[in-house]
């Protein structure tokens, strides 16, 4: 298929060999038309309405409708200082999509940060970028400087009387910074502990002011929605699902050609794995897959033909999450894979609430014992109890409940592998007795 | 984590004799630039610590009260921030920091072999620094380059599809 702005709004300007376009190059292929149209022809609430019409859903993992998120922000002349924050803390294991946009299409990101800020009436925007994304930081800062010099950022943007500036804020590690209220604390220069909700950030966020936090990919959809409208956006998914747009899908793990591609929303995992990622490496069979990051439930080969969208994957017992699948081959121990996942969550817990701080290391100890064949009878039941005690509603934020998703689904589908690690342990204990 | 490079021993009798910690003019300028991005200068906490680390390799204890004063917070608060973030180093590190991704996609594509080869090649474990102060080895969570696993970073450079057999060549570029 020919790649154009109409079919691939996120990636049409990307050419990895050439590198990112500068301001002139980006404007030549339609760049900043979304911004010009928004500022010259539309009121902020009209921009919000377009995003609502498109029914754009958040691409950071939760799938919350962006237009509805924005509509909770107080508007009008008395609303005071408001902030737009881009969550560019991409740290969900198995996810590598936002890096692509920021490294290769930095001006799209900058344009999106201006249009979205205009829609909610923000005075300042921050791109909260993980510290390890050095190339992204350089490319974004260069694009911001070009935009500032051209009058697209700063005072009286395009003669509209609206002042707005945007900065890159780089982090210093810790996965929890991706949780939106922890991110706000981190941005304020504090430890990245999550905050209680409500109040939601749209009412009281950064420095107690109304704040919108959106993911990189979500924001990058905004300029083209402003130019082309909601119906065009809905049509991008080609009827594969009721949600509109394209999605950066990807595949990593034991695939032949891992990568990240912009495809119609609702493309099946089979197409992603077999057509785009070239199938499983070394002719191995697929054993299980994570739909979109470490904090999503494992699914099986029988789920390959489901369209990758929020509702379908949710009905199958998992979550689409970030939409970048991780594939596990038949010769991989599931106990070892889950132990790796729980070690990650355990290390990255911020320690704020007890179930997460103490429960996650406990799950790691149990899984290590089972992996080494030293599990004791009752260990699987203990793990199952943990999936409840660390589940939704028991913790301050979604970190621990997310951690329990791959664990509960691995036990559900591959219980025999866990039992094998306990039988061996019980046998050893009997001999020693 | 243990570290072969112990922090200097401070004897009570010597306290007060050491020259007071001072930021360089360059560090001060960079921190002030960073503070200008925010209505509340405290938001520059992490940025300021990263600036100190960029110039010194790590953030010594003595830097904390000085930086805290500059950005208008107190030392205990900034200490809490400095110890929270995994990429703020509170002990001296080698001239180059090697961070190896140990998350799921790299776990499935050869992380274990890479870690074993690195530990053997450098003669150190995670959290340690080589005796010649050349490399510090650390684990890190997903580097967002899962299509190129196994991955690692050396300082600010990302290395993907790392073949343990090719480590000599990669490490050789960092003296």
- Which value does ipTM take for this structure? 0.94
CA distance A31 to A110: 10
> Hey, is the C-beta of B109 within 8 angstroms of any chain A C-beta?
yes
pLDDT of B4 > 60? The answer is no
Residues 6+ away with beta carbon under 8 Å from A309 = A240, A241, A242, A243, A265, A266, A320
Q: Nearest to residue A60, comparing CAs of A214, A196, A183, A173?
A: A214
Do B85 and A324 make contact, defined as CB atoms within 8 angstroms? no
> Hey, is the C-beta of B29 within 8 angstroms of any chain A C-beta?
no
Helix A379-389 with A399-432: angle, nearest 10 deg: 170
**Segment B99-122, tens digit of pLDDT:** 999 999 999 999 999 999 999 999
Distance spanning both ends of chain B, measured CA to CA: 25
Cis, bond preceding B150 (omega within 30 deg of 0) = yes
Do B141 and A344 make contact, defined as CB atoms within 8 angstroms? yes
Q: Nearest to residue B90, comparing CAs of B99, B81, B101, B82?
A: B82
Residues 6+ away with beta carbon under 8 Å from B105 = A93, A94, A252, A253, A326, B142, B146, B149
DSSP code of residue A433: -
Question: Mind giving me the DSSP string for B17-66?
Answer: TSPPP---HHHHHHHHHHHTT-SSGGGGHHHHHHHHHHHHSS--TTHHHH
Checking phi first, is residue A243 left (phi over 0); if not, alpha (psi -120 to 50) or beta? beta
CA–CA distances in Å: residue B124 to residues A117, A318, B90, B136? 48, 40, 19, 8
Cis, bond preceding A199 (omega within 30 deg of 0) = yes
> Hey, is the C-beta of A204 within 8 angstroms of any chain B C-beta?
no
Query: CA dihedral defined by A126, A39, A245, A230, rounded to 10 degrees?
Result: 140
CB-hemisphere CA count at 13 Å for A399?
36
What's the pLDDT at B17? Answer: 67
CA distance A394 to B10: 45
**Segment B36-80, tens digit of pLDDT:** 999 999 999 999 999 999 999 999 999 999 999 999 999 999 999
Mean pLDDT on A139-161 = 97
pTM, to two decimals: 0.95
**Max intra-chain CA distance, chain B:** 55
**Segment A93-109, tens digit of pLDDT:** 999 999 999 999 999 99
Q: Nearest to residue A187, comparing CAs of A164, A203, A163, A211?
A: A211
User: Which residues of chain B does A188 touch, with a Cβ-Cβ cutoff of 8 Å?
Assistant: 40, 42-43
**Segment A276-309, tens digit of pLDDT:** 999 999 999 999 999 999 999 999 999 999 999 9
> Hey, is the C-beta of B49 within 8 angstroms of any chain A C-beta?
yes
Report the 10 Å Cβ neighbour count for A57.
Answer: 24
Residue of chain B whose alpha carbon sits nearest to that of A281: B109
CA-angle at A170, arms to A168 and A175, nearest 5°? 130
Mean pLDDT on A23-38 = 97
E strands of chain B, at which residues?
96-101, 135-140, 152-154, 157-159
CA A255 to chain centre: 21
User: Which residues of chain B does A132 touch, with a Cβ-Cβ cutoff of 8 Å?
Assistant: 87, 99, 140, 143-144, 153, 158
Query: CA dihedral defined by A341, A346, A352, A358, rounded to 10 degrees?
Result: 120
Label residue A433 by pLDDT band (50, 70, 90): low
Residue from the list B43, B71, B103 with its beta carbon closest to the beta carbon of A93: B103
CA-angle at A393, arms to A392 and A397, nearest 5°? 75
pLDDT of B16 > 70? The answer is no
pLDDT of A430 > 80? The answer is no
Residue of chain A whose alpha carbon sits nearest to that of B142: A93
CB-based contact A119:A82 (threshold 8 Å)? no
Nearest-neighbour CA in chain B from A129: distance (Å): 12
Do B39 and A207 make contact, defined as CB atoms within 8 angstroms? yes
A-to-B residue pairs, Cβ atoms closer than 8 angstroms: 146
Which residue is it, tokens 């495809």?
Answer: A263
CA distance A409 to A254: 20
Residue from the list A93, A167, A172 with its beta carbon closest to the beta carbon of B46: A172
CA distance A90 to A136: 11
Q: What are phi and psi of A355, to 5 degrees?
A: -55, -40
CA distance B42 to A215: 24
What's the pLDDT at A355? Answer: 96
Find which of A81, A252, A339 to mutate to test the B interface (most B CBs within 10 Å of its CB).
A252
> Hey, is the C-beta of A254 within 8 angstroms of any chain B C-beta?
yes
For chain B, the average pLDDT equals 93
CA distance A16 to A104: 7
Two tokens, residue A100: 């692509």
pLDDT of B130 > 90? The answer is yes
CA distance B79 to B49: 10
Do A172 and B141 make contact, defined as CB atoms within 8 angstroms? no
Mean pLDDT on A217-225 = 98
What's the pLDDT at B8? Answer: 67
Q: Using DSSP, state whether A115 is helix, strand or coil.
A: helix
Mean pLDDT on A41-47 = 97
Label residue B19 by pLDDT band (50, 70, 90): confident
Nearest-neighbour CA in chain A from B75: distance (Å): 13
Nearest-neighbour CA in chain B from A101: distance (Å): 12
Cis, bond preceding A198 (omega within 30 deg of 0) = yes
Label residue B1 by pLDDT band (50, 70, 90): very low
Do B104 and A348 make contact, defined as CB atoms within 8 angstroms? no
**Segment A409-422, tens digit of pLDDT:** 999 999 999 999 99
Q: Nearest to residue A371, comparing CAs of A424, A422, A419, A335?
A: A335
Query: Beta partners for A168?
Result: A127
Mean pLDDT on B152-171 = 97
CA distance A114 to B53: 32
Nearest-neighbour CA in chain A from B79: distance (Å): 10
Do B142 and A188 make contact, defined as CB atoms within 8 angstroms? no
CA distance B115 to B120: 9
CA–CA distances in Å: residue A33 to residues A39, A165, A396, B95? 10, 19, 42, 46
Question: Mind giving me the DSSP string for A23-65?
Answer: HHHHHHTTTTHHHHHHHHH--HHHHHHHHHHHT-B-TTTT--B
Residue of chain A whose alpha carbon sits nearest to that of B42: A189
């Amino acid at each position: 298929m020919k790649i154009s702005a109409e079919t691939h709004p996120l990636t049409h300007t990307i050419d990895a060999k050439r590198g990112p376009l500068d301001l002139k190059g980006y404007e030549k292929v339609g760049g900043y038309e979304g911004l010009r149209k928004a500022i010259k022809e539309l009121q902020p609430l009209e921009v919000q309405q377009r995003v609502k019409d498109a029914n754009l859903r958040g691409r950071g993992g939760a799938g919350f409708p962006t237009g509805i998120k924005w509509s909770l922000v107080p508007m009008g002349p008395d609303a005071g200082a408001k902030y737009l924050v881009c969550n560019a803390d991409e740290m969900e294991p198995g996810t590598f999509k936002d890096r692509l946009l920021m490294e290769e299409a930095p001006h799209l990101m900058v344009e999106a940060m201006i249009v979205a800020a205009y829609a909610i009436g923000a005075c300042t925007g921050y791109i909260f970028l993980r510290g390890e994304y050095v190339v992204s930081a350089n490319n974004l800062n260069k694009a911001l400087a070009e935009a500032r010099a051209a009058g697209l950022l700063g005072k009286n943007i395009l003669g509209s009387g609206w002042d707005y500036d945007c900065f890159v804020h780089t982090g210093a590690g810790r996965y929890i910074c991706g949780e939106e209220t922890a991110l706000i604390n981190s941005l304020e220069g504090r430890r990245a502990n999550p905050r209680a909700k409500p109040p939601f950030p749209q009412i009281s966020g950064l420095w107690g002011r109304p704040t919108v936090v959106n993911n990189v990919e979500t924001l990058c959809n905004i300029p083209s929605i402003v130019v082309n409208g909601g119906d065009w956006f809905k049509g991008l998914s080609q009827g594969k699902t009721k949600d509109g747009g394209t999605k950066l899908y990807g595949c990593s793990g034991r695939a032949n050609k891992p990568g990240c591609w912009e495809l119609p929303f609702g493309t099946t995992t089979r197409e992603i794995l077999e057509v785009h990622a070239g199938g499983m490496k070394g002719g191995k069979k697929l054993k299980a897959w994570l739909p979109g990051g470490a904090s999503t439930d494992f699914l099986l080969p029988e789920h390959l033909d489901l369209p990758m969208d929020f509702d379908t994957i949710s009905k199958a017992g998992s979550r689409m999450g970030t939409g970048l699948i991780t594939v596990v081959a038949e010769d991989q121990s599931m106990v070892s894979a889950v132990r790796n996942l729980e070690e990650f969550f355990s290390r990255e817990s911020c320690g704020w609430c007890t179930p997460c701080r103490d429960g996650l290391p406990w799950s790691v100890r149990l899984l290590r014992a089972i992996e080494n064949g030293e599990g004791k009878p009752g260990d699987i039941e203990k793990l199952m109890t943990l999936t409840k005690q660390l589940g939704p509603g028991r913790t301050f934020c979604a970190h621990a409940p997310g951690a329990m998703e791959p664990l509960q689904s691995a036990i559900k589908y591959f219980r025999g592998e866990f039992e094998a690690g306990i039988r061996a342990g019980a046998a050893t204990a009997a001999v020693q007795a | 984590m243990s570290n072969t490079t112990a922090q200097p021993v401070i004897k009570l009798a010597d306290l007060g004799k050491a020259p007071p910690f001072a930021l360089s003019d360059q560090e001060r300028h960079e921190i002030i630039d960073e503070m200008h991005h925010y209505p509340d200068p405290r938001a520059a906490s992490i940025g300021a610590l990263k600036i100190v680390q960029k110039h010194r390799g790590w953030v010594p204890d003595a830097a904390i009260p000085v930086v805290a004063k500059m950005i208008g917070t107190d030392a205990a608060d900034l200490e809490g921030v400095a110890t929270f973030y995994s990429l703020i180093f509170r002990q001296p590190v080698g001239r180059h920091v090697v961070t190896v991704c140990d998350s799921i996609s790299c776990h499935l594509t050869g992380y274990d072999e890479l870690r074993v080869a690195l530990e053997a090649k450098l003669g150190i474990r995670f959290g340690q620094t080589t005796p010649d102060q050349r490399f510090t080895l650390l684990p890190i969570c997903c580097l967002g380059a899962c299509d190129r696993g196994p991955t690692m970073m050396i300082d600010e450079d990302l290395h993907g599809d790392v073949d343990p057999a090719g480590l000599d060549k990669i490490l050789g570029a960092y003296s």
